[in-house]
Structure 1
Amino acid sequence: MVSKAMLHSLLQKQLSYSPEPGPLHTFRDATWRPSSTPVLPDPIAPAVAPLNSLHLLTWNIDFMASRPRERMASALRYLEQLVADIPSSSAVVIFLQEIMESENVGEQDANDLSQIANAPWIQQKFNVTDIGSGEWDSPYGQVALVDRRLAVARVSRLRFVSEYQRVALFVDVCLCSSSSGDAKYLRLCNVHLDSSYGTMRPVQWKALAKHLQSGAEGVAASILAGDCNANQPRDRTEPQDNGFKDAYLELGRGEGDEEGATWGFQSLSWERWGRQRLDKEVFWGDVRVRKLDRMGVGVQVEDEAARSEIKSLGELPFVTDHYGLMGDFEVQDGLRTVTSD
């Protein structure tokens, strides 16, 4: 048990942390090229119409499950089909958690980032924050796939005071300029908060509020999505207590409704936490949620041999133990776009 004095000290330590800049990778000339500079509109090129709609997908892919390559292959095929059905009038961003890239080359070793980087549909449609694990402190991490049409000002990571070496991954998307001419951003945040009983989760939420609701950094609005590990009574109100709106509740749904749960259906150990809404999408500022759906429901490994082996090990053949979420948001100020190359 952590004392109140210790929690206060840890909070002060957490609030002293600043986001650390990172690259965004674009697939060009048959290879992924990193850039630490903003992906901004060409001032000479004709103006490109902004986008006012954003589909934000989030999904935790269980890093401990066997046959990780077949699981990720099936996950990516499912996501490809899902993205193909999203209207082109909406931008698309995909957040993934518990992604692994093993240094080993055996068929039982995860190579999630390589599979992501080699997927033609991702090369064509998205910029990617991570194609290697060099930015991670943990054996597994988060990655964001960002619609290539979006003007991105910066990518950064905020390290958490954490028992699990967790971080928040920020992607600042340019909004159409205000009448004053000041630059404004929609900060998108991919999170994987501490697991288990999560003593540090309240500290992590306060840090997120500081960095996702900060006009001083040009952040006019923000959307956070990911595995919030919300398994304790206090977790039900952490977003609201810290100034966020919970997309699920904003749509008139009730806390504790089983149809909102994202975990407990595809895990043999589900009784530990029950069927819980571990994954969330929350927001702040001039954005509005129009729709929020679960995704990844019942998606299984497609490779028959791998599926058979998974069952023989006493595991379930689902791609992952989490359902994902797909939120449809209206962005009031409009998302700035760039010409595709």
Structure 2
Amino acid sequence: MAPPLLPNPLILDRPNLQSFYFFDPAADPPQWRPASSSMDITINPDSHQHHPTDKLHLITWNIDFQVPFPQERMTAALGHLQHIFSHSSPTNTTRGATIIFLQEMISSDLDLIQETPWIRDRFYITDLSPASWRRSSYGTTTLVDRRLDVHRVFRVPYATSSMQRDALFVDVGLNFPSALATPTAGGGEQQGRVIRLCNTHLESLASGTPKRPLQMKRAAGFMHGHDTTNPGGLLLPTPHAEILAGDLNAFAPEDAHLPSTCGLRDAFLVLGGVEDTEESYTWGKQNPAWFAGRFPDARLDKVLFCGGVEVVRLERIGVGVVAKMAFDGGDRGEEEEDDDDGDEEEEVWATDHYGLEAEFLITSAASDSF
């Protein structure tokens, strides 16, 4: 079994290979183990059968790292994700394998993810700790349905980022059903092609406006396959299909044009969505009271794509999800008389962002060029 890949020192604007992790229930004690690709995983092969990749179910969600009660809020978020995932089980053929992009993860979030039974049973995770992040306070992580054939995981730290942001990529092997597989020049079926998935968190706020175009362009270069090697000689394949999603922090008017200028299609607009409508906003409705009104509602979170893939559905998730905080009503003086046992509950938003849930069809068409 491959040892964990060492992420440091990180090379800016270049792909930095890292391990991902699978849960081994037969280990003593049961534990998460590292892998560099699905070929490293030999335990319980029946539970790692590669799923046909004609469909993909994608979720992206930013869980605010700054506000109090991080464990309670992340627990509520994971409960919401479990509810969604329960409708995309292996017996449900209407959805493809699931990928979950998470932004603003902190160390305690990673601990909770590792301890969650449904994640242990069904997903690989890209991070057990902040070791692969440029800063230890928060970062991105991705959960990958273990029925998918993972070829590699790599990060591209943005050189133009004062907030230490990056793009987290997962290459998944194409496994077309026989009905969609098309012959290659050599007469065989498609082999070796990948779907490249990018989880990113672009620079925040107005101060990040000049940096976001450079970051998006850098990520898009890897999506289109323009960047194929790194200084260590790693050869990256040109992907057949590409999906990028996350918190793109699209605060400024010029941010609206970034996807198209980088050759990426915006799932919300492709499906008929209209900018600056109540249905478009993913941020602003669930801010803490002290922050409310400082910025207008915005569509900060987006799902973008290119190549041999088409979006068929996009919805917001996480709307109204709260964590219930118990406290001793006796600490509130007279209010304890309204509660017989002295215990009361207070609700806090799980996060300030709505998430996005998308369904994609992978097509047999060749990747588009840009």
TM-score range, shorter chain: 0.7 to 0.9
Deviations 1:168-224 (A, max 9, x none): 000001013862455211110001000011120010111012110117523111101
**Distance in 2 between residues matched to 1:274 and 1:316, nearest whole Å:** 23
Instruction: Identify the residue that residue 261 of structure 2 maps to in structure 1.
Output: 241
Deviation at 1:37, TM superposition (A): 3.6
Structure 1 counterpart of 2:257, one-letter code: T
Contact map agreement 1:25 1:128 (CA 8 A) in 2: yes
Pairing 1:291–2:313 present:
yes
Task: Select 2:97's aligned residue among 91, 102, 106.
Answer: 91
Runs of 4+ in 1 over 6 A off after TM superposition: none
Q: Which range is displaced more, 240-249 or 46-55? A: 46-55
Structure 2 counterpart of 1:321, one-letter code: D
Distance 1:224 1:39, change over 3 A: farther
State the SS of the aligned residue for 1:255: coil
Deviation at 1:38, TM superposition (A): 4.1
Matches within 5 A, 1:186-201: 186-197=195-206, 198=208, 199-201=210-212
Determine what percentage of the aligned residue pairs are the same residue. 40
Instruction: Identify the residue that residue 142 of structure 2 maps to in structure 1.
Output: 144
Q: Which range is displaced more, 78-87 or 265-274? A: 265-274
Matches within 5 A, 1:205-224: 205-214=216-225, 217-224=237-244
Deviation at 1:48, TM superposition (A): 5.6
**Distance in 2 between residues matched to 1:67 and 1:246, nearest whole Å:** 34
**Distance in 1 between residues matched to 2:359 and 2:326, nearest whole Å:** 34
Pairing 1:164–2:163 present:
yes
Instruction: Identify the residue that residue 229 of structure 1 maps to in structure 2.
Output: 249
Instruction: Identify the residue that residue 126 of structure 1 maps to in structure 2.
Output: 123
Structure 2 counterpart of 1:282, one-letter code: L
Structure 2 counterpart of 1:168, one-letter code: A
Q: Which range is displaced more, 254-263 or 325-334? A: 325-334
Contact map agreement 1:153 1:173 (CA 8 A) in 2: yes
Instruction: Identify the residue that residue 273 of structure 1 maps to in structure 2.
Output: 295
Structure 2 counterpart of 1:327, one-letter code: A
**Distance in 1 between residues matched to 2:351 and 2:294, nearest whole Å:** 17
Instruction: Identify the residue that residue 341 of structure 2 maps to in structure 1.
Output: none
Task: Select 1:114's aligned residue among 111, 118, 135.
Answer: 111
**Distance in 2 between residues matched to 1:117 and 1:41, nearest whole Å:** 18
Instruction: Identify the residue that residue 337 of structure 1 maps to in structure 2.
Output: none
Instruction: Identify the residue that residue 320 of structure 1 maps to in structure 2.
Output: 351
Pairing 1:331–2:362 present:
yes
Contact map agreement 1:258 1:276 (CA 8 A) in 2: no
Cα-Cα RMSD: 2.6
Pairing 1:21–2:17 present:
yes
Distance 1:238 1:270, change over 3 A: farther
Deviation at 1:273, TM superposition (A): 2.7
Structure 2 counterpart of 1:35, one-letter code: A
**Distance in 1 between residues matched to 2:320 and 2:72, nearest whole Å:** 15
TM-score when normalising by structure 1: 0.83
Structure 2 counterpart of 1:133, one-letter code: P
Contact map agreement 2:324 2:348 (CA 8 A) in 1: no
Higher RCO structure (Cα 8 Å, ≥6 apart): 1
Instruction: Identify the residue that residue 3 of structure 2 maps to in structure 1.
Output: none
Contact map agreement 2:101 2:142 (CA 8 A) in 1: yes
Instruction: Identify the residue that residue 263 of structure 1 maps to in structure 2.
Output: 283
TM-score when normalising by structure 2: 0.77
Instruction: Identify the residue that residue 7 of structure 1 maps to in structure 2.
Output: none
Instruction: Identify the residue that residue 100 of structure 1 maps to in structure 2.
Output: 106
Structure 2 counterpart of 1:18, one-letter code: R
Structure with greater Cα Rg: 2
**Distance in 2 between residues matched to 1:100 and 1:193, nearest whole Å:** 17
Deviation at 1:333, TM superposition (A): 4.2
Q: Which range is displaced more, 317-326 or 168-177? A: 168-177
**Distance in 1 between residues matched to 2:240 and 2:53, nearest whole Å:** 16
Deviations 1:255-312 (A, max 9, x none): 2122110001001324333110000000010111000000000000034339xx9xxx
**Distance in 1 between residues matched to 2:238 and 2:262, nearest whole Å:** 19
**Distance in 1 between residues matched to 2:251 and 2:300, nearest whole Å:** 6
Contact map agreement 1:41 1:151 (CA 8 A) in 2: no
Give aligned pairs, total: 304
Contact map agreement 1:40 1:153 (CA 8 A) in 2: no
Deviations 1:130-183 (A, max 9, x none): 011110112101110000000010000000020100010000010138624552
